[in-house]
Structure 1
Amino acid sequence: MSAVCSGTKPISQVDAALDATQEFLASCIDSLSSHIAVLDEDGVILAVNGAWRRFAD
Structure 2
Amino acid sequence: MKSEIQTTERQLAVEMDKSEKLRDLLNQDEELLKQLDEDRKRVREQKIRRKRQMDDAKK
Give the TM-score category using the shorter length. Answer: 0.3 to 0.5
**Higher relative helix content:** 2
Larger Rg: 2
Point out which structure has higher relative CO (alpha carbons under 8 A, 6+ apart).
1
TM-score, normalising length from structure 2? 0.41
